A = this chain, B = another copy of it.
Amino acid sequence: MITTKLPDIRTDFPLLCQTSGDLAPIAYLDNAATTQKPQVVIDAMHHFYLHNNANVHRGVYGLAVAATQAYEAVRDKVCRFLNAADRREIVFTKGTTESINLVAQSLGDEVLKPGDEVLITAMEHHSNLIPWQMLCKRIGARLRVIPMDDRGALKLENLSDLLNDRTRILAMVHISNSLGTINPVKKIIQKAREKGILVLVDGAQSVAHLPVDVQDLDCDFFVCSGHKLFGPTGVGVLYGKKSWLERMQPYQYGGEMIKTVSFERSEFADLPHKFEAGTPNIAGVVGLGAAIDYIETIGRPAICYYLANLAEYALHQLREIDGLTIVGNAPSRSCIFSFTMEGIHPHDVATILDQQGVAVRAGHHCTEPVMDFFGIPGTIRASFALYNIKDEVDRLVAGLREAQHIFS
Contact = CB atoms under 8 A, between A and B. Distances in A.
Given A45-B45, A252-B97, A54 B33 contact: yes
A97 B277 CA distance: 7
A234 B361 CA distance: 27
A232 B30 contact: no
Interface in A124-157: 125-127, 129-131, 133-134, 143, 145
Nearest to A177: B255
A192 to B, nearest CB: 20
A253 B134 contact: yes
Contacts of A208: none
Interface string A60-87: 1111100000000000000000000000
A98 interface: yes
Contacts of A30: 54-55, 59, 61, 64
Interface residues of A, number: 85
Given A60-B362, A281-B233, A258 B130 contact: yes
Contacts of A97: 252-255, 277-279
A404 B94 CA distance: 44
Contacts of A46: 42, 46
A167 interface: no
Q: Secondary structure at chain A's binding surface: helix, strand, loop or mixed?
A: mixed
A288 to B, nearest CB: 11
A378 to B, nearest CB: 10
A15 B358 CA distance: 39
Interface in A14-67: 14-15, 18, 26, 28, 30, 33-34, 36-37, 41-42, 45-46, 49-51, 53-55, 58-64
Nearest to A67: B34
A252 B106 CA distance: 12
A368 interface: yes
A278 B63 contact: no
A225 B277 CA distance: 13
Contact of A127 (B36, B127, B255): B255
Given A37-B49, A277-B127, A283 B233 contact: yes
Contact of A277 (B101, B282, B347): B101
Contacts of A235: 234, 281
A266 interface: yes
A234 B368 contact: no
Interface in A340-356: 347, 350-351, 353-354
A262 B368 contact: yes
Contacts of A366: 254-256
A138 B354 CA distance: 51
B53 A278 contact: no
A95 interface: yes
B53 A36 contact: yes
Contacts of A127: 253-255, 277-278
Contacts of A256: 366
7 contacts: A49-B232, A61-B358, A96-B254, A98-B252, A126-B253, A127-B253, A145-B263
Interface of A: 14-15, 18, 26, 28, 30, 33-34, 36-37, 41-42, 45-46, 49-51, 53-55, 58-64, 94-98, 100-101, 125-127, 129-131, 133-134, 143, 145, 225, 227, 232-235, 252-256, 258, 260-263, 265-266, 277-284, 347, 350-351, 353-354, 358-363, 366, 368-369, 372
